[in-house]
């Protein structure tokens, strides 16, 4: 194993440990917080012209679309390890989103970008508010599976590139 490969494996494993550590306590996930919040709030503005519902959904959509788009861009350039790092970022987002969804009924989380609780509004409009805990749990599981896939792929492809 070359030094470069060793460093790549070390970085992706460190990201994986960070992600798993934060999966069980959202306050531990600080690395991408600023970018996640920026893209989330920008998504509200960007999609607001399509109506209130889409504008509110746009926050979560853009928050996920940016790392997903970067992962696809790296993948298309055959930079698979870098795509795995972006996939990690994509998956890490799910933990914050799950936390936000599970707060939909209680609404105790502080709001930053406005007075509407995105997921409280979304789930109420879709008549799914009573299921906020289950939906949030499913989203959390998607994040965990995505992170595990990103780490496994990153370890595997760090040796191939």
For 63-74, b/e burial (b = at least 16 CB within 10 A) is bbebbeebbeeb
Residues belonging to the chain: 161
- Look at residue 113 in the predicted model and tell me its pLDDT: 64
Q: pLDDT of the chain along its 161 residues, tens only? A: 899 999 999 999 999 999 999 999 988 888 888 999 999 999 999 999 999 999 999 999 999 999 999 999 999 999 999 999 999 999 999 999 999 999 999 999 888 766 789 999 999 999 999 999 999 999 999 999 999 999 999 999 998 76
pTM confidence score: 0.93
């Amino acid at each position: 194993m070359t030094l470069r490969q060793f460093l790549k494996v070390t970085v992706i494993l460190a990201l994986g440990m960070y992600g798993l550590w934060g999966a069980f306590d959202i306050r531990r996930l600080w690395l991408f917080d600023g970018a996640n919040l920026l893209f989330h709030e920008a998504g509200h503005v960007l999609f607001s012209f399509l109506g209130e519902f889409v504008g509110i959904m746009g926050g979560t959509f853009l928050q996920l679309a940016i790392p997903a788009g970067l992962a696809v861009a790296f993948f298309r350039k055959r930079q698979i390890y870098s795509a795995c790092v972006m996939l990690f970022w994509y998956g890490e987002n799910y933990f914050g989103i799950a936390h936000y969804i599970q707060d939909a009924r209680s609404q105790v989380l502080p709001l930053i970008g406005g007075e509407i609780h995105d997921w409280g509004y979304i789930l109420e409009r879709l008549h799914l508010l009573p299921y906020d805990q289950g939906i949030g749990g499913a989203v959390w599981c998607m994040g965990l599976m995505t992170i595990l896939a990103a780490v496994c792929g990153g370890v595997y492809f760090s040796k191939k590139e």
